[in-house]
Structure 1
């Protein structure tokens, strides 16, 4: 995506009526720019759409940012120009820990969006199935004439995902989507959450989040889906890993900081748990070409972890669903309506 410092106006019609009141919508950074293609066609009026880079290096960039009515982005603090006309700061995802809420203009709404739960649930099930259905190993062996997994042989019998129990930390959009698919595979589902869900049709056992460690000894898989907040930072600590089965599989598709970095590394290195699938991390690249390890600790040297680059929710479907919600929020504020997914400031 090539960033531009000039705006583009694209007129769209709704019931043959073109609005006269335009707003400036700024897409700030590479992440936000992903949602720009097709965005104008979802709007009820012709609005000014501006693409800005992550680093606002020029005076023109900073002025465009400062005069935005809507900003779509993932980072905000007092190092950025004050957006004096801001009506809506729209995060193009669920997590808003990169936004310093206290620095936003008082009258501006802060909203997030979801739509990633389907993709993340598929990632989770794919990862877990890989532990029970060794397609890659079977393929590699058969290419050498090795029939280890042949039905009828004593050495190649597999385990089944449906015979295991999953424990899910957090029961929001992601937790619910994972639970639904886990039940479809026949798994037993335990959930630890702040509040008890009204619909518990997908849940076999519920635990208060403050008592989540009591759940850990009873499950084979632990999946963190919690966002990062003051009360979740470092929640999964050394005591939590010590409470898990030695055969446990741990997965993090929530925020990296929810899991204590040293405790996770130690649990894997010392064999307190059997395996981990980690998609959310502690260090991220400073730019698209930066070579960056995801932690200050050498997770990449461990053999009992599968590492992925925060990819679990990033699909065409996620982009489309989020784009639709964000465009609808622009339409709503232009109509004097409250946007959806407002975050209390």
Structure 2
């Protein structure tokens, strides 16, 4: 089995991978840009490719058995261009990390540990217990709204319940009220959903239907002190509507991890939006880091290694995006 890790993102999962797959594996790491004939030939002859994109600019690997995305999103993979016999799979295993990110961000808004530390180092006892003027918040009793109830949404719900929060869900397919879910909405009730919660967590994948799914109407419906958190894909929230709601103070704030612009070789230090989010004091900005932990890498490595072994054995694959045609 000739296994290619294509690009820097995929290469993050390569360390120790051969040991997970077994002695039959031949592992090679290729750069994002296949500049040499040798790199192009290696890519074209691969049996399995681990990578985040496939497009017309890449050699067509005629004998490819498996294309494995090392993450959940496969919007940069042109499925129609891959050989018909190629199965395409993706990975999850990031829901634990993203759920911890969401809960830590919400806790940080309620419990000002860093500010209390900095003030006390100057002799300022600003949060000292014993006076109503010095109280801080808590998240117990608040309502968290999960837009999307897949792997990430369910992981957040379990943790929110541990913090005694109410959980509301808005999802494309119906979600039943349960021990995890106190109230469920359909997507045509999105404004009502947004108005019912103290925090809106967006984790839906980016599709034609979800692009701009949260816009001006949803921000108008939100409570004035509510916060919105995006750990899905940037464009699921309308960029201009988000900026205007924050700039005008119509909502309490935003925690944004997934963005509208990303670094490239030409612009390695680009700001994440054409709009001046970085000038707003009610935004916490992070660089698409919520799911990127050592645990995520370890879990995804195991998923990909298991699928490659299944491919070798002719067994059924997991996390299948597209099943390869056996008659191709």
Q: How high is the TM-score relative to the length of structure 1?
A: 0.91
2:96 to 99, 118, 121: 118
Return 5+ residue gaps in structure 1 as ranges. 1-22
Call closer, same or farther: CA 1:206–1:281 in 2, change over 3 Å.
same
After TM superposition, give the deviation of residue 199 of structure 1 in Å: 7.5
Match of 1:213 in 2: 191
What is the CA distance between 1:78 and its match in structure 2? Answer: 0.9
1:127 matches 2:67: no
Aligned to 2:41: 63
Which residue number corresponds to residue 291 of structure 1? Answer: 269
Match of 1:332 in 2: 310
Q: Does 1:162 align with 2:149?
A: no
Q: Is 1:254 matched with 2:232?
A: yes
Look up the match of 1:147: 125
Secondary structure of 1:131's match?
Answer: helix
CA contact (8 A) 2:177 2:183 kept: no
Q: SS of the counterpart of 1:25?
A: strand
Q: Does 1:99 pair with 2:77?
A: yes
Q: Which residue of 1 aligns with 2:326?
A: none
Q: 1:77 aligns with which of 38, 43, 55?
A: 55
Deviation of the 1:153 alpha carbon? 2.2
- Alpha-carbon distance in 1 for matches of 2:68, 2:190: 32
Give the RMSD, CA atoms, in angstroms: 1.4
CA-CA distance at 1:235 after TM superposition: 0.7
Change (3 A) 1:160 1:288: farther
User: Counterpart of 2:29?
Assistant: 51
CA distance, structure 1, for counterparts of residue 266 and residue 283 of structure 2 = 24
Q: Is the 8 A contact 2:4 2:29 kept in 1?
A: yes
Aligned to 1:188: 166
Equivalent pairs counted in the alignment come to 323
Of residues 329-338 and 95-104 in structure 1, the stretch that sits farther from structure 2 once superposed is 95-104
Equivalent-residue separation in structure 1 for 2:44 and 2:60 (angstroms): 6
Q: How does 1:220-231 map to 2 (within 5 A)?
A: 220-231=198-209
Match of 1:238 in 2: 216
Runs ≥4 residues deviating over 3 A:
none
1:26 correspondence with 2:4? yes
Residue 287 of structure 2 corresponds to which residue in structure 1? 309
